[in-house]
Every structure is written in C-alpha cells, then in structure tokens.
Chains A and B, each alone.
Chain A
Amino acid sequence: MSEARVDDLVGGVLDGEHRALARTITTIENQEPGYRELVSALHAHTGDAEVIGVTGSPGAGKSTLVDKLAKTYRDRGLSVGVIAVDPSSPYSGGAVLGDRIRMASNVGDMDVFFRSMSARGQLGGLSTATGDAITALDAFGKDRIVVETVGAGQNEVDVVRTADTVVVLVQPGSGDDVQMLKAGILEIGDVFVVNKADMDGAATTVSDLREMLHLRDGSTAGSAGHHGLGSMADGTDDADDDEWDPQVVETVATEGRGVDDLIDVLDDHYAHLRETGELDRRERTRYAEKIRQLLRADAAALLEDEIDRHGGMAALVDAVQARETDPYTVADRIVEPLADCVERD
C-alpha cells in the first residue's frame, strides 16, 4: 500500500467516513503492506473510547445483549462500535460469522458500526487484529466500543487484556455451569450478567454467583450503597475501597430488560477505574503487552529469514534426524547473529 493510500485512509477515518473505517479494518485484518504505518498514524487520535468486552458460553445471548447495549447507548446519545468475533474453521480457515443476525435493533443506524471478525485460528477468544481494530474505531470517534468474543468456555480470557470492563454472561439453570466457571472466566469478570433471567433457575444462578464472588445480600445493590454506609470514612483510602466488587446484573436481552441497569453498572465500573488509577495501570499493561507481542512477531520473522539462510527448516531437520547435530545446537547457531548484535553494546 502506498504512503498516499495510507494517508487517504487515515484522513477518511478521522473525517468519519464509514467506508474508510471499513477498509482500514480489512487492511489490519489481512496485515496488508502498510498496515503498521496505518495503525501508527491512528494511535495519536485514540484514548477517548471506553472499551467493553463481552464474553460467555455459546448461546448465552452475547450477540443479543450486545445489540440491546448498542441500542441503549444510542438512545443516550453515544456512538458505538461493535467487534464480534466468531471461530474460524480449523480445516478450511473459512468461517460463518453469524453475530450480525442479532443486530436487529440498530438497522439503518450507521452510527452503530458493526464489524464481524473471524478468529483466524487464534484460541484466546479474539483475533490478533482485534486490538488494532479497536484503535481504528477509537480514532474514528466512537464513544463506546463493545467487543464480543468467541463463545468461550474456560480459558478464553484474552478479552481482559483488551477491554476496560469485562462482562461475563452466565446462563441460568445449571449449577454445573457455574462450577465450571470457577477457574478462569469467573476471575476475569468485572460485571456478571445472568441473561435469560426469566428462565427457571435464574435466581439460583444469581445467588450461586454472588456467593462465589463473596458478595453478601446487603451489598448487592451496587457500589453506591456500599459507600453510603461508610460515608464518614470517605477520606480514608484503604485497600478495600480500591478493590472493585464484581457486580451481578440480571437481564432478559431479547426484551431489553435490565440493560439500563447494566449500563449504569458499566459506568460505575469505569468511574471506579478512573478514580483509583486502575484505568491508567491497565492501559500501561496493555501497551507493554502490545509492544512485547510485536517484538516477538518481528523477532520470529527475523529468525525465519535466518533459518532460510541456513538452508531452510527441512535441511536442518534432516541433519538433526541423521544425528549429525541436535536441536539445541541448531537453535544456538541460528540465534547467534541476533545475540551478537544485542551483546555488542
């Protein structure tokens, strides 16, 4: 991609052109030449959007809830970007991306920018391009960005490293489900949503969750009640006050019930992040991780070139298989020129 084309796209995104935003995300997804310059140029214009991650098991109602969330944000005068990730086929690499079907409430509203993404073989619940696509939506001027993960079971926790607030959807009706969540997803949620709250067993699931989150009956009404009780001690800032108590919200996404409550809790959480400095800390962690990720990829690419210079992987394996050398020696030899450069200083 030419430099002029990159400038065009950046200009288009900053001017609010939907087509330019769409093409930017495609460029990022395909890692087309010039995509790094593109994301670099957009970075300076980011930092205003709140990013909400939504995860949960398949069929829990993520897409339907995201649709209603977007609608409610729009009713409050905010613009919304949505990235919905679905799994890709391990065989063909293809994918059927079906989250868009649920976006019925936002038909004809271009201020909800909805983009489906394939995970493209990534296992953490997001695709590698998701973070950079958020950068594009942020630079475009979206107030809220909602990221919906692949239907996740236990360890698809990449969303934590991407979102400011993590919403975990839980289905009512099976204690086993909640048990399963114990290690992994239960640890990453800032807000838990028991969706389909009109189903049998919803109340049990809510109380199970609250129990597991060490919430007592009295402190479930939201953080306002908690602070209200201790208003005399507002000046003291002990560790307990800095800790966010995960909230449990009940919704019926198909009818939009509970969505306003959910947004209030999301706002509370964001305010909490800002007040405690946690927002800043999370952002720093995110950028550190991003820099490391880029360095790993770049270093790996350099090493691939080095492998080619040594006659390619097949030849190296031949030598190892014939017991002429061993994997460790091969690795040492290939990494040697890089190590030399690092140690020179």
Chain B
Amino acid sequence: MSTGQEQRTIRCLVAKVGLDGHDRGAHVIARAFRDAGFEVIYSGLHRAPEEIVQAAVQEDVDVLGISILSGAHNTLIPKVIEGLKGYGAFEDTLVIVGGIVPDEDRTALKEAGVAEVFGPGTPMQETIDFVRENVQR
C-alpha cells in the first residue's frame, strides 16, 4: 500500500525514424529516462512515420521523443505529427526532438507542433526536467 502505486508513471516512446542508423543517442536517452523512473518504449531503428504513430497511439505515451540525425526532420516529423492528429492523440502527447537540427529549422518544427528541440551536448537532466514540467496529463 505504498503511495508509489498511485503515482502516475510517465510513459515515453523513444523513436528512430527514417534512414538513420545512429542510435547511440537514443540508447543513452532511453537509459537516462529509465533511471529517472519513466517507462520507456524503444522503437528500434529505421521506423516509418506510420509505425511511430501506431506505437505512440497503442502505447498511449505521454512523451514522444524522436531522435533524428539524418537531416530529414523537416519531412518526417510533420508526418508523425499529422498521424497523431489523425488519431486525436496529438493534443496530449508531448513531442520532443533530439539530434542534429540546424537552428533555422527549429522554428518551423515548433510551429508544426514540436515542444522542444534538444541538440548535442544538452545535459540529460535538462531534458528530464523539461519532460517532467511539460507532460500534458
């Protein structure tokens, strides 16, 4: 009968989308989220936007963290967000992006619905704190 049972666990999907084989960052963040007490579902490599959407909807995640280092973020990320909207799942999913995203692309991504973009060198704690403060439910 500990209070831990009633405390809501933050569920998070760490996703790799498109032709991008760099998963070290995704692994590191998955582990950091685990150690922060989150439940992390890892998508595996080379996922299509529809797969990410399917996973995010079925797993009912609070946070969708997309790791992308291929440069295709302007194409792929809006597709994921549109897919989430199709299931009515966008409003209460916090979408964050990690990886190599040039500064000039960030505004457009945020307008599309990305809550924050975390570049190389972001301290782990900063990302975790951001998630804790901005989770929707």
Complex Cα spacing A116 to B14, Å: 13
In the bound complex, how far is the Cα of B30 from the Cα of A89, in angstroms? 13
Which of the segments A107-115, A152-160, A229-237, A242-250 contacts the partner chain?
Answer: A107-115
Contacting chain B: which of A25-33, A49-57, A270-278? A25-33
Q: Are the C-beta atoms of B58 and A89 separated by less than 8 Å?
A: no
B44 partner, pick from A96, A100, A114, beta carbons under 8 A: A100
Q: Count residues on chain A whose CB falls below 8 Å from chain B CBs.
A: 34
Binds A, one of B49-57, B68-76, B98-106, B108-116: B49-57
Q: Report how far A77 CA is from B9 CA in the complex, Å.
A: 36
Residues of chain A from 17 to 37 with CB closer than 8 A to chain B in the complex: 18-19, 22-23, 25-26, 29-32
> Is the Cβ of A19 less than 8 Å from the Cβ of B88?
yes
Main secondary structure on A side of the interface with B:
mixed
Interchain CA distance A308-B59 in the complex, whole Å: 37
Q: How far is the CA of A26 from the CA of B44 in the complex (A)?
A: 23
Shortest beta-carbon distance from B127 to chain A in Å: 14
Is A300 an interface residue, CB under 8 A from the partner?
yes
Interface status of B133 (Cβ within 8 A of chain A): no
**In the bound complex, do residue A30 and residue B58 qualify as a contact, i.e. CB atoms below 8 Å apart?**
no
Instruction: Please report whether the interface of chain B is mostly helix, strand, loop or mixed according to DSSP.
Output: mixed
Nearest residue in B to A113 (C-beta to C-beta)? B58
The answer to the question of A195 belonging to the interface, with a C-beta cut-off of 8 Å to chain B, is no
Given contacts A30-B8, A30-B9, A92-B35, A18 and B58 within 8 Å (CB-CB): yes
Q: Assess whether B6 is interfacial by the CB under 8 Å rule.
A: yes
Which B residues lie at the A interface, using CB under 8 A?
1, 4-6, 8-9, 11, 30-31, 33-44, 48, 50-51, 54-55, 57-60, 87-89
Known contacts A93-B4, A96-B31, A110-B54; 8 further A-B pairs (Cβ under 8 A): A96-B30, A97-B41, A98-B41, A101-B43, A107-B51, A115-B59, A116-B41, A304-B1
Chain A interface (Cβ < 8 Å from any Cβ of B): 18-19, 22-23, 25-26, 29-32, 88-89, 91-98, 100-101, 107-108, 110, 113-116, 118, 120, 300-301, 304
